[in-house]
Structure 1
């Protein structure tokens, strides 16, 4: 799964070449984390709706 400029979703390096990440890389990582939270929230909501439908 490659996304966000070809970097792997979970294993994006915090440090590049032993140096601190540039600001745009930090924003990139923050967006990736936010997308993960949104995805988890969507999955949780859908699973709750399925459970309610089964009852």
Structure 2
């Protein structure tokens, strides 16, 4: 039970920190978002290669 509360607190803390950083550093946030999108595209591309034509 205590572990669940700790995890919930950590999640709220992380989200709060991210939102604060988002306000503080919009440029960094944008760069991170672009990087995330790039990684997502790479991941989907790799997935497509793996599934591939049969």
Shorter-chain TM-score range: 0.5 to 0.7
* Structure whose residues are more often strand by fraction: 1
4+ aligned runs moved over 3 Å, structure 1: none
Number of aligned pairs?
39
* Structure whose residues are more often helix by fraction: 2
Gapped regions of structure 1 (runs ≥ 5): 1-9
Q: Which has the larger radius of gyration?
A: 2
TM, length-normalised to structure 1: 0.56
Q: CA RMSD in A?
A: 2.6
TM, length-normalised to structure 2: 0.57
Gapped regions of structure 2 (runs ≥ 5): 1-13
Q: What is the CA-CA distance between 1:30 and the residue it aligns to?
A: 0.2
Equivalent-residue separation in structure 2 for 1:50 and 1:35 (angstroms): 23
Map of 2:19 onto structure 1: 13
